[in-house]
Structure 1
Amino acid sequence: MAKAKTAFVCNECGSDYAKWQGQCSDCGTWNTLVEFKLGPASGAKRSKTQTANASYAGVRSEAKRLSEIDLEKTPRFTSGTSEFDRVLGGGLVPGSAILVGGHPGAGKSTLLLQTMCHLAKDREVLYVTGEESPQQIAMRAHRLELPVDRLRLMAETNIDALLATAEEIKPAVMVVDSIQVMHADDITSAPGSVSQVRECAARLTRYAKLSNTVLFLVGHVTKDGSLAGPKVLEHMIDCSILLEGDADKRFRTLRGQKNRFGAVNELGVFAMTDKGLREVKNPSAIFLDRGHEAAPGSIVMAVWEGTRPLLVEIQALVDDSSLSNPRRVAVGLEQNRLAMLLAVLHRHAGLQLGDQDVFANVVGGVKVLETSADLSLLAAIVSSFKDRILPRDWVVFGEVGLAGEIRPVPSGQERLAEAAKHGFKHAIVPKGNMPKQPINGLKVVGVSKLSEAMDALQI
């Protein structure tokens, strides 16, 4: 019998090595190399039939012209929730593998259970649970008042038994909750290890491609919010989405991190209720639910999330520091960018905050990943430092450069239209984002330097 080969794979980046070493040379992390069995040596020959039908995408290796491929054979179909469809790129694509991640209690299982119960009305759906018993799933479905007549439920952690059942049922959609508890008998390592997750995900993805099944894989996350397990898992699947939000918060955000069928960083907003997750079709309205009394350090900004604008409130608090090294805390924003913008504010606006604690927060738990929040963040900081209230019907956006210039941002016209729709009367934007035609009810002021923006804000 041929001896099985082994390799050592990094849990963080997926790099493999011939022997164990303390540090991964590619990502620099320590003690992340785990032994991974590669299977029989090359002496074990495969049959001609196995070789001919070994295509990963489910079709024989045949060269075709791009114009000859028929797109109508794999039409999208809706998940039943417009916010979920938005993040997925417009709906579910047959044969796609989708990885759903999130912190414990974020609502991953609830969202998928709701979606599967809806889809089971028209097509065959299989929900595979490896962490909860069927009774627990049924109790949740009855508590949420979901239709439970047609959804097939299976409690299984063995990958071979799961695939055998799937071959019999032939579901159009299948959920595996979660990939970390699945295991294959021919691999000796424990469930959740690099080798088990890698092999089980590969077999499930291959089955989805061969049978045109929409596959949902639920994945765990680490303390820093990244997906647990080998990085190679993210390369296998077609779409990776992350459900964000703490268990004690009402709203959840579903963000796309990888999508072969749509835009990346698309955002869907849901509200957690006693009947499960409910989509929020107008997210700007909930994030603009401001207090009755106006206060310094608050301004509304227009950010771009995926394919739509979103109006959110940004707050800043500047206070005297009793520490030798004043604190710089950013929630929902990049910490290093806050420190950089404070240096720009000192150099080009003459405002020294070296002895002040600066706290910045994006209301509603939204994470802003783009640079259009620069100008609004500085406006909120200056407003708090000078204790001056900014008008509540103003909206601000724009990127701030190191030379103090205000740079234009993409989709400025759509951001302004969203602001006008919600009743804002005044906007301060980069000159490059000035609209070509006037917008009814909205006065737009274009600025090119940080000093001009501070004068326009009258602070």
Structure 2
Amino acid sequence: MAKKKTAFLCQDCGYDSPKWMGKCPGCNKWNTMVEEIIQPEKGQRRSFQTGATSQKPEPITKIKSEKEPRIDTKINELNRVLGGGVVPGSLVLVGGDPGIGKSTLLLQASSTLAESDQTVLYISGEESIKQTKLRAQRLGINHDRLYVHAETDMDLIEKAIQDVKPTLLIIDSIQTVFRSEVTSAPGSVSQVRECTSQFMRISKSNGIATFIVGHVTKEGSIAGPRLLEHMVDAVLYFEGERHHTYRILRAVKNRFGSTNEIGVFEMKEKGLDEVENPSEVFLEERSNGAAGSSIVASMEGTRPVLVEIQALVSPTSFGNPRRMGNGIDHNRVSLLMAVLEKRVGLLMQNQDAYVNVAGGVRLDEPAIDLGIAISIASSFRDQPTNPTDVYIGEIGLTGEVRRVSRVEQRVNEVAKLGFKRVILPEKNIGGWTVPKGIELVGVSSVQEALRQTTGG
């Protein structure tokens, strides 16, 4: 009898080694190497085509380009994140913390598509069909074209797909599915890689839009090999606190649309409701007249969003002052405080600083720099900002306020929500129509912006 060939695979990044190692060379994590049996595939190698008409190389000038057809999910926020709807034959990975609402969102999308005469197959590997039915009843979902199947064996799932011939396939979740040919346990690197490859072949060959639910690690990234995110067409993260009602759906990879779009939902008793105007949500609990608060206009894809930036600056009781950021990079907070100290003269070497983005949204664009600096200076001086002001601008290391993109869209959103004045880069003024009732104040440095707000 031939000896079985084994290898040690990292359960985080998929790195393989012929011998065990305590620390993975691929991701530098400890105790993630697990021994797995490697079996060579028998027979011919499987292949598939991703929409090609010929297996021969063709000049790009002779290839006909067609716009991808879209399936409307009837959920505008989901359509926005996907780039206009579901693309037939696409493979989408959805990740998020347990209990955040991934299954609820996909079940609601299944219902709306079934009502549009689309056939949907929902494969549940974590719940029985009766449990799925009870959850559907709570959400008010009941349709003949929505099929539910509780199965984890890849071969039986493939047979169910051939029988139902769905337009949309949902796998909840990929960590529970296994192939009998692979000897490792479900959820291992080999199983996740092989099962995802099989779903990709099925999806591309039959034009079935497939959504795969993935578990996340303690760090918030999708569990399994990094290869998983490279194989799929889109990666969506469902973010939010379990004890808060608002959820944010964010695309971190999308071959059919923008990767900067977000969709905002509110978790209610009857499921997830769309939030059409997130700016109102993020500003509804703002307290007027409080020091350390400012409003910024951030672009999330094609959508301008107004968000409150809160800062608390207080004397430190430690040798090294703390710099903390919630919803923004704390390194950016340290950089902006250094600019305020060097260019404006605010002594912050002995001050702790805590900066928070209200509403649970995460911002990472440079145009919010001016709002962060104004909030920090306002809290440091204990002088409140004007509640009808909005701040837009990127700050350089020399203290200059640099121009930003799409300023007209940002200002239009400001006018829609009733704000009166916008402090923005001087270079952005001119060449576009200013909404009625909005006063623009152009500034070229942080010092000028502070003189316009906190009086010095």
Structure 1 CA distance, aligned partners of 2:155 and 2:63?
33
What is the rounded CA distance, in whole Å, between the counterparts of 1:126 and 1:323 in structure 2?
57
Q: CA deviation at 1:91?
A: 0.6
Matches within 5 A, 1:439-454: 439=434, 440-454=436-450
Q: CA offsets per residue over residues 63-83 of structure 1, 9 Å max, x none?
A: 344465555585111111111
**Deviation of the 1:321 alpha carbon:** 2.3
For 1:245, the aligned partner's letter is: G
- Residue 50 (structure 2) pairs with residue 57 (structure 1): yes
Amino acid of the structure 1 residue aligned with 2:30 = W
- The code of the aligned residue for 2:113 comes to L
Deviation of 1:120 (Å) = 1.2
Match of 1:455 among 431, 444, 451: 451
Counterpart in the other structure of 2:73: 79
C-alpha contact (below 8 Å) 2:176/2:186 kept by paired residues: yes
What does 1:17-416 align with in structure 2 at a 5 Å threshold? 17-40=17-40, 46=44, 54-57=47-50, 59=52, 60-66=54-60, 69=63, 74-121=68-115, 122-291=117-286, 293-416=288-411
State the Cα distance separating 1:232 from its structure 2 match: 0.4
Identity %: 47
Cα 1:188–1:378 change in 2 (3 A) is same
Question: How does the TM-score come out when normalised to structure 1?
Answer: 0.93
User: Are the aligned partners of 2:36 and 2:183 in contact in 1 as well (CA < 8 Å)?
Assistant: no
Identify which range, 440-449 or 22-31, moves more after superposition.
Answer: 22-31
Unmatched tracts of structure 2, length 5 or more:
none
Please state whether the residue corresponding to 1:437 is helix, strand or coil. Answer: coil
Matched AA of 1:57: T
Contact 1:75–1:94 (8 Å) recurs in 2: yes
Structure 1 residue 356, shift from structure 2 partner: 1.9
Q: Name whichever of 237-246 and 64-73 sits farther off.
A: 64-73
Letter in 1 for 2:39: G
SS of equivalent to 2:191: helix
CA distance 1:3–1:148, shift in 2 (3 Å)? farther
Does residue 1:14 correspond to 2:9, yes or no?
A: no
Distance 1:189 1:326, change over 3 A: same
Over 3 Å counting, the alpha-carbon distance change for 1:309 and 1:2 in structure 2 is: farther
Contact 1:141 1:148 in 2 (8 A): no
State how many pairs are aligned.
Answer: 452
- Deviation of 1:337 after TM superposition, in Å, equals 1.2
After superposition, give the CA deviation of every residue in 1:347-388 in whole Å (9 maximum; x if it has no partner).
Answer: 111111222221111110000121211110110111111111
**Residue identity in the other structure for 2:27:** C
Quote the RMSD (CA, aligned, Å): 2.0
Q: Deviations 1:176-214 (Å, cap 9, x if unpaired)?
A: 000001111111111111011111111011110000000
Greater Cα shift, 362-371 or 397-406: 397-406
The secondary structure found in structure 1 opposite 2:371 is helix
- AA paired with 1:234? E
Instruction: Indicate conservation of the 8 Å contact 1:3/1:40, yes or no.
Output: no
> Could you state the TM-score of these two structures normalised by the residue count of structure 2?
0.94
Instruction: Quickly say closer, same or farther: Cα 1:68–1:119, change in 2 above 3 A.
Output: farther
Kept after mapping to 1: 8 A contact 2:48/2:204: no
